[in-house]
Amino acid sequence: MEETKILEESLREIMEQHLAENQYAKIRTMLQDMNYVDIENLLADLQPDQTLRIFRMLPKETAAEVFTEMDSDMQQYIIESITDLEVISIMDELYMDDTVDFLEEMPANVVKRVLRNTDEATRKTINQLLRYPEDSAGSLMTTEFVDLKKEMTAKEALKHIRATGVDKETINTCYVISPQRKLEGVVSIRTLILSQPDVTMEELMDTNVKYIRTLDDQETSVYLFQKYDLLSMPVVDGEDRLVGIITIDDIMDVIEQENTEDFHKMAAITPSEEPYLKTGVFTLAKNRVMWLLVLMISATFTGFIIRKFEGALSQTVALTAYIPMLMGTAGNAGAQSSTMIIRSLALNELEFSDLLKVIWKELRVGITTAGLLSVFNLVRVMIFDQVSFGVALTVCLSLFCIVCLAKVVGGMLPILAEKVHLDPVLMASPIITTILDALSLLIYFWFATTVIGVA
Amino acid sequence: MEETKILEESLREIMEQHLAENQYAKIRTMLQDMNYVDIENLLADLQPDQTLRIFRMLPKETAAEVFTEMDSDMQQYIIESITDLEVISIMDELYMDDTVDFLEEMPANVVKRVLRNTDEATRKTINQLLRYPEDSAGSLMTTEFVDLKKEMTAKEALKHIRATGVDKETINTCYVISPQRKLEGVVSIRTLILSQPDVTMEELMDTNVKYIRTLDDQETSVYLFQKYDLLSMPVVDGEDRLVGIITIDDIMDVIEQENTEDFHKMAAITPSEEPYLKTGVFTLAKNRVMWLLVLMISATFTGFIIRKFEGALSQTVALTAYIPMLMGTAGNAGAQSSTMIIRSLALNELEFSDLLKVIWKELRVGITTAGLLSVFNLVRVMIFDQVSFGVALTVCLSLFCIVCLAKVVGGMLPILAEKVHLDPVLMASPIITTILDALSLLIYFWFATTVIGVA
């Protein structure tokens, strides 16, 4: 990655040099050999007016690809700086899903200007796509797919693809539809090419199609893509008519975004889609402070418990020294279990009916690890800490019970959360830790005062 | 997902019924309409001998696909139960990457039997692939790709694909190689189909190819797939010869696996690839106990600190009640920062040169959140807790400093870890929390004894 950085740096310098000297031929040659992603990376490092100058030199197909990669500030700047004719030419090249993604981030005046420069039919499609809820399959799909008819032969189908394919997002999978546009089957380009020219689509097509509905959650499509190793998936409306397709590149983005969301939620942060360096201090603070406040207030319960046992503590001050270790171990043990379960739920490896299996497994894992930790701790406390045997026994018995409890609670809560339609990720480390802090103290003081009676 | 479960359940019952009654025709009809993933799911729920009976009825292409989906215990059972001829027929249909994945999990005698039933050339390729290190690009790739020559016309290329394509893992992207098998360019099937029949590959091919070397880390290929929205990527050896391709379905598996690893590491679990329910209690305990032990021992430092200030605590017992809240908030605040940074590093949004930017940003976020939390806490403590103003002030000033420190330390450590080639994920919540626990106590007692002098 370091080398890439240096390479990008020198590319940028050469480009700035060429721009300063108006060496347009040289710039064109440079751009010709570059991937659109790399061009966008380069432009992102230049001044806006330099970006604009280069952008206008791109062939229109590349321009559209580069435009799709840009962040919305730059997209807005470009659209506000170019002529109506240029807007038309870019919109013409953009796939529908990218158009919609872009328009969703634009202010009303830019949206208006763009829509004014598209034809009636496109405008209608855009408006329809913009109406799908944010995380729905409909909002992910594009409308440029290859549709075939059942009666077509392989030869006719290929001819049809040659005539229309240039505007399609993918031709790797083609869709067979009825005259009423109902989805009847799929044919891969591979099947088409490898088959005899006079075989019909009806014979070739696979009718066992994995599809999704426009209003289904995007997570369902991620699940189906992963389960069936798909490259694209048809989207049908309420009347089973094929209205669009979702392609794997968009699914990869959703996976990345949802994993990031899960990581953030597991650390008690309100998730945001912006990259870290582009997020303002105020937004970062806002996304974090709510949860910190909630957890801080919950943590005061532990304060109550300690205050309730103040007498015991002042009698045997040695007990205080073990509180952080006990609470820390409880939190860590619980977080291990809850994280494993949360991830398994996300990967659909677990469901509610496995609850008892999970509890039983965590209990046994708990007893094994708790046993080991307690024995180790007993030896350590007796040798190094010079406390009474009663205190040592209290610490170790508490540790044993706390770790077992932490494992079971950590394993159980995410599954219960999913059952009542809460996000299991809420039951990640911060909440589990806070709950276990209080429980640990109660167990500890119960052993100290009631069972062993050291305080 | 609930419906899927019920559907699978009833499918299994029907299948068992048919098997008991030896209704082979009915079973064949059922299987015909099913996707190979669904067939494997069904077989996984049956008895091994039932699985075997159905497996043998599958057409050989489907059999190979279903075989690839099976877990290694079932694969072993199948291979050990079928005839040499059947082994040959399955091996013939398997793609090389799947063959290697399967053989890697098999005991020596099964590997031997499989290799004995493959031809010389295949055996050589398998042995070569088996030698690539586990997380290398070479271990992910398959060797069945379409190779074209520069001089071929589009028409000739399509003819070549028709003749050889049936055995290739994908024909969507084709690779142009020199007589020495050096990679010269790529042509998508879309370009081929949409072009004029007499254009040569030299004119059609894209020479700006994103490729990877056999020994490169698989994470590099994940990065390139995501950055450039690829569907497949060529793999070249030390002499730039094309030796294989990686396809997106394998990349999706790597992404899932690496995310799971990160989730587990962030909860201080030694990662394992097995699904939770299939992992034994002993393995689960082993993967967790090491870290718990390390963290428990580190947590005893907090014990030392408390013992050192035992005098102060026994003098002002009220101070003890706030220890869990302070440590909890520090841990949560630090975990928020470290998680955000760890995820940004994983997505290549951050690098070492951003260290100062991150520290400065975290400091400001810290001051904002810490300020809010402290003021809130001061009011709460004064109203509800009836402690002296000195104690309240100590708690709130400590809270302010601790949260600021937690933010900066949490933001900094993952970046420093990456710089010294440690996995940044190690600096996740458990370690950060343990470090911050000790620092929080030191700050707290310093305020209590030295600055405010309440104890």
Is B408 among the domain residues? Answer: yes
Q: Do B292 and A320 touch (CB under 8 A)?
A: no
Residue A136 belongs to some domain of the structure: no
- Could you tell me which residue, A90 or B318, shows the higher pLDDT? A90
* A138 inside 8 A of chain B by CB: no
More confident site: A254 or B386: A254
**Token pair of B86 as six digits:** 């059947």
pLDDT(A2) > 60: no
Residue in A161, A190, A226 nearest the CB of B171: A190
Two tokens, residue A293: 């406040």
From chain B, the residues in CB contact with A304 under 8 A are 321
How many Å apart are CA A301 and CA A303, to the nearest integer?
5
Report pLDDT for A306. Answer: 86
What are the chain A neighbours of B171 within 8 Å (beta carbons)?
Answer: 189-190, 193
**pLDDT exceeds 80 at position A1:** no
Kindly report the pTM of this predicted structure: 0.85
Same domain membership, residue A65 and residue A90:
yes
Closest CA to B440 of B400, B412, B387: B400
Inform me whether the pLDDT recorded for B4 exceeds 80.
no
Q: What's residue B33's pLDDT?
A: 82
Q: How far apart are the C-alpha atoms of A233 and A231, rounded to whole Å?
A: 7
Q: Is B4 on the interface with A (CB under 8 A)?
A: no
Do both B124 and B24 map to the same domain?
yes
Task: State the total domains in chain B.
Answer: 3
Question: pLDDT of A204-222, one tens digit each?
Answer: 999 989 999 999 999 899 9
Flag whether residue B290 sits within 8 Å of chain A, measured between CB atoms: no
Shortest distance between the Cα of B52 and any Cα of chain A, in A, equals: 23
Vertex B102 angle, CA B101 and B108, to 5°: 115
Asked if the model's pLDDT at residue A383 lies above 70, the reply is: yes
User: Would you state the pLDDT for residue A455?
Assistant: 65
pLDDT in tens, B205-218: 999 899 999 999 99
List CB contacts (< 8 A) between B191 and chain A.
none
pLDDT at position B382 is 86
In a domain, A264, yes or no: no
Q: What residues of B are in contact with residue A342 (Cβ under 8 Å)?
A: 263
**Same-domain pairing of B332 and B283:** yes
Which of A192, A284, A402, A433 should be substituted to probe chain B, the one whose Cβ sees the most B Cβ atoms within 10 Å? Answer: A284
Give the integer Cα–Cα distance in Å for A393 and A382. 9
Pair B301, B319: CB distance under 8 Å: no
pLDDT, tens digit, 9 for 90 and up, residues A124-157? 899 889 899 988 999 999 999 999 999 999 999 9
ipTM attached to this prediction: 0.84
Mean pLDDT, chain B, rounded, equals: 90
Q: Are B311 and B447 part of one and the same domain?
A: yes
What angle (nearest 5°) sits at the alpha carbon of residue B327, between those of residues B304 and B323? 70
- In-domain check, residue B400: yes
Q: What token pair was written down for A31?
A: 């751009």
Q: Taking 80 as the threshold, does the pLDDT of residue A196 lie above it?
A: yes
Residue-wise pLDDT tens digits, B152-195: 999 999 999 999 888 888 999 999 999 999 999 999 999 999 99
For residues B421 and B406, what is the distance between their CA atoms, to the nearest angstrom? 23
Q: Which of B172, B332, B372 sits opposite A295 (nearest CB)?
A: B332
B1 pLDDT higher than 70: no
pLDDT (average), residues A364-387 = 90
Tokens of B40: 């494997």
What are the φ/ψ torsions at residue A361 (nearest 5 degrees)? Answer: -65, -45
Last residue in a domain, options A96, A131, A166: A131
Nearest CA in chain A to B435: A328
pLDDT at A178: 94
* Same domain flag for B86 and B234: no
Establish if A216 belongs to a structural domain. Answer: yes
- Give yes or no for a contact between A433 and A360, defined as CB atoms under 8 angstroms apart: no
> Which SS3 state, helix, strand or coil, does residue B76 take?
helix
| Cβ distance of A310 and B317 shorter than 8 Å | yes
Q: Which residues of B touch A373 (CB under 8 A)?
A: 289, 292-293, 296
Look up the CATH number of the domain holding residue A125: 1.25.60.10
Q: What's the pLDDT tens digit per position in A166-181?
A: 888 899 999 999 999 9
Nearest CA in chain A to B279: A361
Whether B185 maps to a domain, the answer reads yes
CB-CB neighbors (< 8 A) of A284 in chain B: 340, 361, 365
Identify the CATH number of the domain in which residue B162 sits: 3.10.580.10
Question: Is B317 in contact with A314 (Cβ distance < 8 A)?
Answer: yes
Q: Is the dihedral of CA B277, B279, B283, B289 positive or negative?
A: negative
Q: Give yes or no for B357 touching A (CB within 8 A).
A: yes
- Contact flag B276-A441 (C-beta cutoff 8 Å): no
Task: Inform me whether the C-beta atom of residue A209 falls under 8 Å from chain B C-beta atoms.
Answer: no
Q: Give ∠ CA A6-A249-A117 in degrees, rounded to 5.
A: 95
CB A184 within 8 A of CB A207: yes
Angle between helices B248-266 and A323-346 (to 10 degrees): 160
pLDDT band at B429 (very low <50, low <70, confident <90, very high): confident
Using 50, 70 and 90 to split pLDDT, how confident is the model at A3? Answer: low
Contact B306 A284 (CB under 8 A): no
Calculate how close chain A gets to B443, using CA atoms only, in Å.
Answer: 15
User: Residue-wise over B377-407: b if at least 16 C-beta within 10 A, else e?
Assistant: bbebbbeebebeebbbbbbbbbbbbbbbbbb
% of chain B exceeding 70 in pLDDT: 99
Tokens coding A369: 């690890």
Nearest to B343 by CA among B418, B406, B272, B254: B418
Given B170, B327, B369, which is nearest A288 (Cβ)?
B369
Which domain, by its residues, includes A44? 2-131
Q: Quick one: average pLDDT of B354-360?
A: 94
Q: Which of B33, B193, B210 sits opposite A171 (nearest CB)?
A: B193
Give the torsion sign (CA, A286, A288, A294, A300).
negative
State which H helix or E strand residue A175 sits in: strand A173-177
Is A299 in CB contact (< 8 Å) with chain B? yes
Tell me, what's the pLDDT at B454?
A: 74
Q: What are the residue ranges of helices labelled H in B131-217? A: 137-140, 154-164, 189-194, 201-204
Q: Measured between alpha carbons, how far is residue A137 from residues A180, A218, A347, B106, B151 in Å? A: 22, 5, 19, 40, 44
pLDDT the model gives residue A450: 84
For the segment A37-65, the average pLDDT, to the nearest whole number, is 91
Quickly list DSSP for B296-321. Answer: HHHHHHHHHHHHHTHHHHHH-GGGGG
Neighbours of A417 (CB within 10 A): 20
| Residue B264 belongs to a domain | no
Interchain proximity A266–B266, CB inside 8 Å = yes
- The answer to whether residues B222 and B302 belong to one domain is no
Helix axes A48-57, A2-20, angle to 10 degrees: 80
> Phi-psi bin for A229: left (phi > 0), alpha (psi -120 to 50), beta?
left
Distance from CA of A125 to the nearest CA of B (A): 25
Q: Are residues A443 and A360 in the same domain?
A: yes
Q: What is the pLDDT of residue B371?
A: 94
Rounded Cα distance, B313 and A58, in Å:
71
- What is the reported pLDDT for A348? 85
Pick the last residue of a domain from A131, A155, A187. Answer: A131
Would residue A271 count as lying in a domain? no
In whole angstroms, how far apart are CA B99 and each of B58, B59, B114, B145, B296?
A: 19, 18, 10, 15, 44
Residue B380 has pLDDT above 90, yes or no: no
Nearest CA in chain A to B33: A208
| A93 and A64 Cβ atoms separated by less than 8 Å | yes
| Mean pLDDT, residues B265-274 | 84
Q: Are B229 and A252 inside 8 Å of each other by CB? A: yes
Which conformational region is residue B205 in: left (phi greater than 0), alpha (psi within -120 to 50 degrees), or beta?
beta
Is the domain of B125 the same as that of B154?
no
* Same-domain check for residues A16 and A102: yes
Q: Tokens 């494997």 map to which residue?
A: B40
- R_g of chain A computed on alpha carbons: 30
Helix (H) or strand (E) holding A60: helix A60-69
pLDDT in tens, A422-451: 888 888 878 888 899 999 999 999 999 887
The tens digit of pLDDT for each residue in B64-89 reads: 999 999 998 999 999 999 999 999 99
**Which residues on chain B are in Cβ contact (under 8 Å) with A322?**
303
Write out pLDDT tens, residues A104-113.
Answer: 889 999 999 9
Average pLDDT over residues B196-205: 94
Confidence of residue B356 (pLDDT cuts 50, 70, 90): very high
pLDDT tens digits along A254-266: 999 889 998 888 8
| C-alpha span between B414 and B338 (Å, rounded) | 6
Tens digit of each residue's pLDDT (9 = 90 or more) over A328-339: 899 999 999 999
Q: What is the CATH number of the domain that holds B374?
A: 1.10.357.20
Can you tell me the mean pLDDT for A25-35?
88
Please check whether residues B228 and B126 belong to one and the same domain: no
- Based on the fold, state whether residues A355 and A421 are members of the same structural domain: yes
Chain B residue numbers with beta carbons less than 8 Å from the beta carbon of A318 are: 307
Query: Residue A88 has which token pair?
Result: 């038309």
Query: A6 and chain B: CB distance < 8 Å anywhere?
Result: no
Same domain, B11 and B118: yes
E strand map for B193-337: 212-213, 232-236, 242-247
The answer to whether A418 contacts chain B (CB < 8 Å) is no
Question: Between vectors from CA B436 to CA B432 and to CA B438, what angle results, nearest 5°?
Answer: 130
Residues 6 or more apart whose Cβ sits within 8 Å of residue B128: none
Structure confidence at residue B3 (pLDDT): 61
Looking at A72, A104, A131, which one is the last position of a domain?
A131
Mutate to test the interface with B, among A260, A343, A345 (most CBs of B within 10 A): A343
